[in-house]
């Protein structure tokens, strides 16, 4: 949904909170619906040739616990280790709660009680461990939305990097751009530069103040990045381990299908998480991991640059509703010796600072900023929708004809997979419509709420069916892969 328009308007964070509440409410309703549907079915009578097993012990063969442990450990690396959260900021929860209370101060006693309970949860989530656990649960239930957040953050970091390069910070890297967007910088007086836009604004003000010194100034990007790397808890080795483990698991599943061996529903679901993790990791490849402390920007981090910027940064803060786009890039406007027309000068302020998706937003991805937010937001929706469709196809194609111990299980599995595919594609269509037509916000709000509810119901249904599948799995699921060299082309 395009920022500042449509049904989100100026209350994006609150609307998203309402969708989260809707998702939480849908879980018990989904459980009741799935249980009733399964109860209406009958015990499946399998053919004699279709041998079925429930629990298989190891270690002589591929046992049930081995299968579960391999899948869960792979899922853990995908949904926990791969998540890159922002630098902690306790004030965000407090500000968000105050805004929520002010917005709903006239509600009833029951709502105020629930709001108070939510406040305690917000304070508890300030701890680093619980915050990462919350992200893990969020990633398990809706990995497509984590893909959406990663794409949005990648686009924002790219624009922040372009803005820094345009300001003469030629050694600034994508890693530092991510770190600025994460709220990783702080001034010596304790002022928190909570996002990339605020950091750029501070940089502009500092360069304007110091231009009379007669020399150009540049941040010591090399020293800052070294400091950020020291604070980042995850290195390339851990990321490489995650990629290798996920890749090896995926290869095993492909080989099992190629050999026409059975594959469990849990293994298929794990492959779906791997697919989302590949997209997420590609977007967060340069984002610092698990940084708990901010970098203080001191005078010692400034270095002299021989090129004098002159009046390059003497522009005013861009208005929040600026949408004009100049035919001359900001880099050209700052450094080119070609004269700039008056009309182009009028457009330069609108490009000086990226625009936030929501000026009042505190949390990702709404607090990110872009030179063209109306393109960044739909892009995230489209890629997340594609990821959701991939997840649905991964669940559907290998196990479309799978049988469960209850006769209605197969139809539930098919229905849930189709809902996953159709709704994620439909969500991208909603984003496209909302971006093109600005006066149908209320209808899109209710339509999106229905889509979110059905999506949550289908996802819960898949989880229930995965658990149910272990009551009766094909015997070939527990056979090992034949890794003999006879399957590999070679010379005698």
Shared domain check, 221 and 118: no
Q: Is residue 1 part of a domain?
A: no
Q: Is residue 181 part of a domain?
A: yes
Shared domain check, 364 and 228: yes
Shared domain check, 463 and 332: no
Q: Is residue 3 part of a domain?
A: no
Q: Is residue 7 part of a domain?
A: no
Shared domain check, 110 and 31: no
Q: Looking at the 3D structure of the chain, how many domains does it have?
A: 3
Shared domain check, 323 and 313: no
Shared domain check, 434 and 305: yes
Q: Is residue 436 part of a domain?
A: yes
Shared domain check, 338 and 306: no
Q: Note down the domain range covering 65.
A: 12-88+126-317+353-478
Helix axes 373-396, 265-283, angle to 10 degrees: 160
Shared domain check, 167 and 71: yes
Shared domain check, 58 and 108: no
Shared domain check, 389 and 259: yes
- Which of 125, 122, 126 lies closest to 100 in space, CA to CA? 122
Shared domain check, 109 and 235: no
Q: Give the H/E segment covering residue 92.
A: helix 90-103
User: Along the 492 residues of the chain, how does pLDDT read in single tens digits?
Assistant: 444 444 344 455 566 666 677 777 888 888 898 889 888 888 888 888 888 888 888 767 788 999 999 999 999 988 887 788 887 776 666 666 666 666 666 666 666 666 666 666 666 555 666 777 778 888 898 899 899 989 999 999 998 998 888 887 888 999 999 999 988 888 888 888 888 888 988 888 887 776 655 456 788 888 888 888 887 766 567 777 888 889 999 999 999 999 889 899 999 999 999 999 999 988 988 898 888 888 888 877 777 654 433 333 433 333 333 333 333 333 333 333 333 344 434 433 344 688 877 776 666 677 788 888 778 888 888 899 999 999 999 999 999 999 999 999 999 999 999 999 998 888 888 777 776 766 555 566 777 778 888 888 999 999 999 999 999 999 899 988 877 654 455 444
Question: Residue 303 pairs with which residues in a beta bridge?
Answer: 218
| Residues in the chain, overall count | 492
Q: Is residue 439 part of a domain?
A: yes
Domain termination residue (choose one: 308, 328, 352): 352
Shared domain check, 339 and 201: no
Q: Is residue 170 part of a domain?
A: yes
Please indicate, yes or no, whether the overall pTM of this predicted structure exceeds 0.75: yes
- Which of 77, 475, 469 lies closest to 270 in space, CA to CA? 77
């Amino acid at each position: 949904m395009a920022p500042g328009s449509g049904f989100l308007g100026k209350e994006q964070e609150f609307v998203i909170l309402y969708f989260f509440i809707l998702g939480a409410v849908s879980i018990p309703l989904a459980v009741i619906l799935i249980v009733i549907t399964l109860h209406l079915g009958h015990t499946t009578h399998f053919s004699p040739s279709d041998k079925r097993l429930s629990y298989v012990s190891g270690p002589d063969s591929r046992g049930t616990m081995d299968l579960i442990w391999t899948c869960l450990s792979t899922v853990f690396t995908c949904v926990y280790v791969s998540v890159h959260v922002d630098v902690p900021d306790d004030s965000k929860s407090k500000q968000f709660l105050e805004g929520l209370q002010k917005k709903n101060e006239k509600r009833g006693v029951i709502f105020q009680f629930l709001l108070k309970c939510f406040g305690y949860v917000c304070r508890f989530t300030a701890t680093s461990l619980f915050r990462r656990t919350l992200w893990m649960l969020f990633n398990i239930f809706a990995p497509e939305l984590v893909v959406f957040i990663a794409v949005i953050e990648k686009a924002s970091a790219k624009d922040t990097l372009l803005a820094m390069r345009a300001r003469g910070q030629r050694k600034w890297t994508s890693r530092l751009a991510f770190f600025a967007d994460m709220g990783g910088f702080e001034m010596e007086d304790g002022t928190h530069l909570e996002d990339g836009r605020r950091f750029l604004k501070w940089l502009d003000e500092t360069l304007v103040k110091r231009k009379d010194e007669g020399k150009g100034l540049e941040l010591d990007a090399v020293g800052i990045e070294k400091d950020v790397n020291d604070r980042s808890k995850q290195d390339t080795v851990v990321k490489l381990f995650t990629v290798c483990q996920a890749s090896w698991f995926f290869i095993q599943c492909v080989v099992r299908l190629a050999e026409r061996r059975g594959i469990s529903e849990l293994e298929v679901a794990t492959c779906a998480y791997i697919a989302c993790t590949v997209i997420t990791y590609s977007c967060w490849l340069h984002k610092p991991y698990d940084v708990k402390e901010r970098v203080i920007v001191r005078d010692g981090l400034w270095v002299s640059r021989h090129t004098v910027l002159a009046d390059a940064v003497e522009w005013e803060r861009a208005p929040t509703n600026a949408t004009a786009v100049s035919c001359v890039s900001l880099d050209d406007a700052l450094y080119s010796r070609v004269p700039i027309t008056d009309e182009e000068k009028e457009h330069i302020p609108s490009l000086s600072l990226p625009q936030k998706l929501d000026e009042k937003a505190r949390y990702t991805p709404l607090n990110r900023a872009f030179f063209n937010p109306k393109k960044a937001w739909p892009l995230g929706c489209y890629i997340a929708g594609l990821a959701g469709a991939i997840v649905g196809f991964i669940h559907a194609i290998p196990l479309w004809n799978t049988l469960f111990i209850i006769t209605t299980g197969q139809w539930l599995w098919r229905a849930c997979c189709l809902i996953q595919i159709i709704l994620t594609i439909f969500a991208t269509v909603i984003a496209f419509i909302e971006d093109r037509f600005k006066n149908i916000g209320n209808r899109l709000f209710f339509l999106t709420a229905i889509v979110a509810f059905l999506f949550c119901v289908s996802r819960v249904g898949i989880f229930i069916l995965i658990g149910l599948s272990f009551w009766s799995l094909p015997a070939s699921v527990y056979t090992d892969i034949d890794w003999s060299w006879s399957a590999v082309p070679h010379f005698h």
